[in-house]
């Protein structure tokens, strides 16, 4: 499908389209085949409730494309089929009384009864579709869908025509060039105004599927993101593509003939190639529609040959990469000229016809070369996108694993520190006991007391110096903890932002968007900046800050331990100054013991604070660990999707190139046959 933010239920493969049917009914002079269209496909995925996601996205697109039209979703749907389109039209329109009801009923019947023919869409040798074969098979390519819709509308008295145009294939990026119109839709005149109807896209989508054995095995395994190689068509009626709003529709499809844009101001092909945003900008600047142009009715009344000949010059002027249109015009004019003079045996006529077919063949050859170059460039770009995308995803995974390992390490650090602190607290909470020298009735000498007092004074000076350092350390811990908390607050606020970026990007990648797409690129750039630069930097600061705070706590504990040792010695010496409990040194004893007790309590507070700091951050680190675990799971899905996208795009490009090459060979072969016939006539 078109890799836009809106989801289109569309198709894989090479589909019928531009000019295929116009040359399948052989003229007397022979016939010519031209390239058929490629209609985008919807990503074929199995993951959770992706079908529901698809339905939701399709509904959003329906609202955007068809907001103005109240489509009757039931009229005409339950009518049985018929062998011919005229009988079928009478049945389908039996309950319709207005032009809108008739066009609506025909759209409803086709989109609910005609399946998409994937096999035919990939076969350059397929037969031309007719209304009869479409009804017989119950299958069609866009060529068959539009052929039947226009035939039934005209049978119902409505003016209608097929419009060929450009549709962005799912793997195309902004500014990729368009060469050949590869899709077809319809315009139908309702109450004097032309409206768009696209029964191909409105009918359903391709869905991946597994064989029976794989489905049974999947029931026994954990759900995972998968992209099945097999696919089949699934009916999914979508009313959005009946009376689709032209400006909204122009985001995904653009007519090859600008006369069918239904707008007052023609959108240049370069705007369409530039991408949806440029299309929206153009439409905003040029919002006026033109649904009533008189020349449209005349064009709609042309035969297919007349319309192609009349519009060929406009088509080429609009896109000079579509070289084959010149050959188409020459071949059709030669066909008509030969048919008009089929009974004349005129050598001059035969030479003119031969020259026309030879010139047409040269245009086909000329068209082939830029397509070959284009496919080669697309395949090279696909490899580049894959290399860049995987490098980015692996960068996320590598960073995530490192951050997850850090988070786990710091969870263990918190646990280890908590266990260590708990042991220390257990020891710390034991009763305080001063083991003084044995009590003696002999009063210590004055010299001994003087020595005790001197020691107390010396220690007190050390204690005061340590206390000043402790005060500064406590202030530093307060500041560092606040700075650390600021980091956690910032990171806490950043994580939801990361989720808001990564999840939409992952969704887009799951639907096979790549890093060149608007649906991925802005998210990718934001995630690189916010996650791989900003958040990683914040986390490095966080872990450093965590270590710094804990180191400060350890230093604070060491200082308190040193003070406690000194204060304990002071308490012992104060007690030794009066071993018989006389009151002379009672105040000193009380002061020393109180200081020791106070420091002991403060050290206990340090243990509690550090324990709380580690406990709180263990939970925070656990949340970080969970985030990066989830990020890794998402990155795994993104990697799976990117590998599948690369493989699928490579396969699609090869299929498209092979189809175009086969179609070109067929065209050249048929032209050579015509030239050979003319040579034979000239010899006679």
Residue 237 C-alpha from the chain's centroid = 24
- pLDDT (0 to 100) of residue 65: 52
Residue 94 has pLDDT above 90, yes or no: yes
Convert the pLDDT of each residue in 607-665 to its tens digit. Answer: 999 999 999 999 999 999 999 999 999 999 999 999 999 999 999 999 999 989 988 89
Output DSSP code: residue 226. B
Average pLDDT of span 21-26? 31
Convert the pLDDT of each residue in 304-336 to its tens digit. Answer: 888 889 999 999 999 999 999 999 999 999 999
H or E segment and range at residue 208: strand 204-208
- pLDDT (0 to 100) of residue 430: 80
- What integer best gives the mean pLDDT of the chain? 86
The pTM of the full predicted model, rounded to 2 decimals, is: 0.80
Cβ-in-10-Å burial (0-12, 13-18, 19+) of 178 comes to buried
Output DSSP code: residue 494. H
CA 225 – CA 637 distance, rounded (Å): 6
pLDDT tier at 138 (50, 70, 90 boundaries)?
very high
pLDDT tier at 437 (50, 70, 90 boundaries)?
low
Buried b (16+ CB within 10 A) or exposed e, 190-205: beeebbbbbbbbbbbb
Residue 366 has pLDDT above 80, yes or no: yes
CA 26 – CA 107 distance, rounded (Å): 30
pLDDT tier at 136 (50, 70, 90 boundaries)?
very high
Highest mean pLDDT among 13-27, 123-137, 218-232, 334-348: 123-137
Q: Of 431 and 122, which is predicted with more confidence?
A: 122
Q: Of 69 and 670, which is predicted with more confidence?
A: 670
H or E segment and range at residue 195: strand 193-197
Convert the pLDDT of each residue in 565-597 to its tens digit. Answer: 999 999 999 888 876 666 788 889 899 999 999
pLDDT tier at 221 (50, 70, 90 boundaries)?
low
- pLDDT (0 to 100) of residue 142: 94
Average pLDDT of span 659-675? 91
Q: Are 244 and 196 in contact (CB under 8 A)?
A: yes
Q: Are 617 and 624 in contact (CB under 8 A)?
A: no
Closest CA to 11 of 158, 119, 85: 119
Which CATH architecture group holds 21-303?
Answer: Roll (3.10)
CA 504 – CA 351 distance, rounded (Å): 63
Domains of the chain, by residue range, sit at 21-303
- pLDDT (0 to 100) of residue 93: 98
- pLDDT (0 to 100) of residue 436: 54
CA 239 – CA 63 distance, rounded (Å): 10
Convert the pLDDT of each residue in 471-528 to its tens digit. Answer: 999 999 999 999 999 999 999 999 999 999 999 999 999 999 999 999 999 999 999 9
Residue 254 has pLDDT above 90, yes or no: yes
Q: Supply angle C-alpha 509, 514, 520, rounded to 5.
A: 70
């Amino acid at each position: 499908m078109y890799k836009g933010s809106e989801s289109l239920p569309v198709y894989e493969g090479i589909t019928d389209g531009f000019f295929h049917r116009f040359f399948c009914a052989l003229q007397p002079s022979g016939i010519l085949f031209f390239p058929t269209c490629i209609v985008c496909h919807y990503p074929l995925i199995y993951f959770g409730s992706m079908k529901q996601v698809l339905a939701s996205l399709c509904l959003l697109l329906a609202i955007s494309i068809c907001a103005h039209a109240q489509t009757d979703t039931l009229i005409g749907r339950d009518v049985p089929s018929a062998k011919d389109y005229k009988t079928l039209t009478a049945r389908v329109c039996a309950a319709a009384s207005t032009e809108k009801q008739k066009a609506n009923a025909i759209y409803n019947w086709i989109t609910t009864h005609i399946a998409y023919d994937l096999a035919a869409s990939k076969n350059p040798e397929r037969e031309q579709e007719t209304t009869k074969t479409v009804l017989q098979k119950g299958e069609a390519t866009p060529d068959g869908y539009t052929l039947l819709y226009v035939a039934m509308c005209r049978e119902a008295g409505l003016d209608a025509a097929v419009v060929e145009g450009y549709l962005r294939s799912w793997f195309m990026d902004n500014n990729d060039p368009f060469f050949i119109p590869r899709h077809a839709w319809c315009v139908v005149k309702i109450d004097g105004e032309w409206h768009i109807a696209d029964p191909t896209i409105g009918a359903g989508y391709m869905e991946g599927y597994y064989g029976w054995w794989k489905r049974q095995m999947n029931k026994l395994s954990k759900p995972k993101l998968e992209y099945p190689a097999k696919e089949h068509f699934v009916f999914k009626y979508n009313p959005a593509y009946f009376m689709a709003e032209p400006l909204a529709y122009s985001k995904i499809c653009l007519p090859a003939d600008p006369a069918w844009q239904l707008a007052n101001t023609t959108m240049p092909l370069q705007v369409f190639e530039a991408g949806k945003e440029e299309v929206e900008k153009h439409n905003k600047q040029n919002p006026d529609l033109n649904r009533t142009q008189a020349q449209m009715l005349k064009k709609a009344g042309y035969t297919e040959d007349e319309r192609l000949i009349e519009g060929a010059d406009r088509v080429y002027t609009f896109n000079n990469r579509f070289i084959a249109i010149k050959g188409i015009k020459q071949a059709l004019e030669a066909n008509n000229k030969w048919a008009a003079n089929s009974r004349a045996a005129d050598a001059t006529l035969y030479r003119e016809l031969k020259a026309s077919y030879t010139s047409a063949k040269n245009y086909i050859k000329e068209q082939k070369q830029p397509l070959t170059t284009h496919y080669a460039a697309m395949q090279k770009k696909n490899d580049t996108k894959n290399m860049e995308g995987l490098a980015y995803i692996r960068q996320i995974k590598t960073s995530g694993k490192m951050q997850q390992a850090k988070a786990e390490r710091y969870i263990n650090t918190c646990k280890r520190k908590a266990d260590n602190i708990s042991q220390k607290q257990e020891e710390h909470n034991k009763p305080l006991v001063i083991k003084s020298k044995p009590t003696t009735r002999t009063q210590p000498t004055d010299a001994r007391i003087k020595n005790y007092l001197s020691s107390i004074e010396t220690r007190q000076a050390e204690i005061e110096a340590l206390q000043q350092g402790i005060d500064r350390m406590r202030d530093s811990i307060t500041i560092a903890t606040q700075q650390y908390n600021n980091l956690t607050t910032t990171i806490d606020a950043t994580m939801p932002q990361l989720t808001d970026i990564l999840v939409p990007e992952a969704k887009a990648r799951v639907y096979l968007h790549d890093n060149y797409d608007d649906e991925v690129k802005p998210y990718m750039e934001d995630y690189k900046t916010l996650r791989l630069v900003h958040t990683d930097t914040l986390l490095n600061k966080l872990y450093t800050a965590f270590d710094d705070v804990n180191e400060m706590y350890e230093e604070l504990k060491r200082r308190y331990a040193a003070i406690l040792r000194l204060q304990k010695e002071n308490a012992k010496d104060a007690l030794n100054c009066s071993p018989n409990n006389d009151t002379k040194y009672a105040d000193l004893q009380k002061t020393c013991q109180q200081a020791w007790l106070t420091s002991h309590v403060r050290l206990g507070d340090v243990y509690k604070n550090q324990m709380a700091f580690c406990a709180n951050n263990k939970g925070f680190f656990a949340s970080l660990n969970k985030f990066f675990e989830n990020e890794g799971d998402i990155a795994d899905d993104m990697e799976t999707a990117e590998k599948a996208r690369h493989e699928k795009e490579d396969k699609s490009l090869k299929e498209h190139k092979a189809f175009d090459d086969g179609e070109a060979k067929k065209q050249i072969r048929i032209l050579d046959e015509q030239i050979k016939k003319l040579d034979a006539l000239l010899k006679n």
